[in-house]
Chain A
Amino acid sequence: MICQECHQRPATLHFTKIINGIKTEVMICEKCAQEKGEMFMDAGGPGFSINNLLAGLLNMESNIQQTKANAFPKTEERRCPHCHRSYKEFVHIGKFGCAECYKTFNEQLNPILKRVHSGNTAHIGKIPKRIGGTIYLRKQILDLKEVLKVHIDQEEFEKAAEVRDKVRSLEKRYEAQEGGEEL
């Protein structure tokens, strides 16, 4: 099989592209693939690079959005106010320029994160001790409020009262910390 791009070298790569449901088969040599950027080749050697592959997924995302009657016509041009990276650049490289990008492109983020992290979009792990202090407290309060609800629903009023007191004391601590006071 001869490469369908250069018509000279043998085609060593065979892949299938599916864009908006349209399937295209491509037979291509490694050199053309790299030059065209069609294949997500890792410059360091054969095989796929996760990041390049991700760029592919993100590209797919923007293709879908474009066909959705231009639901987000300005997405491509939007730029992060801190690092000035555009969404288009992010999609091309597959990497954000700074923490602010997460806010700037928040709207587009959920479908991307879902795809990469098996449907998950929210963090449930470690909270940094110092800067995360109030976040940690708030999370505890929210969790306890859920427990409180269950106790009330099941008419376990004594247990509910205990939890309510805990919530109140945590709320006080939270207010104190938010106000900048040391505990």
Chain B
Amino acid sequence: MNQAQAETFLSRELRMLDQRKFRDWRQLLTDDAIYWVPNGDADGDPQQHCSIVYATPPMVEDRLQRAESPFYWVGDPPIRSVHTVSNVLLERADGDSADIACNQVIYLYRENDQRRDQVLDTLPAQCEYRLRRQGDDWQIAYKKVALLNSDGLVPLLPPII
């Protein structure tokens, strides 16, 4: 993987989230993937300390099943997102795997709310990825989204951020 491929991969991945194609995003995960959004200390041990999200692929399935339900009140009306990605650093790469660090800014907005003055939330994050090659494609073996305010007030979130 080279720099341009890394940036293209991230842009595609985040576009899936912004288009709410969460099932497509699910397909990017390796079977042993970990998707992690820490709460508090981003360097802490997620086995000892609660996270905002700590999920294996079956747990991601549960999240998507919930988000597709008519009883998903957080997403009623739905939360729209825009992700921007920058400062993409290809920290390590060989033919079969790559470690990427990047910054993301995640904008969240609840559409069509009766209240009509719903705020636009801005969530800057430092992110880490470990990608693995599967044939001609790359998959996510590890994704960590360390929100800048992970120890502060975090708004209601879409199923995957």
Q: Is the pairing of A and B real?
A: no
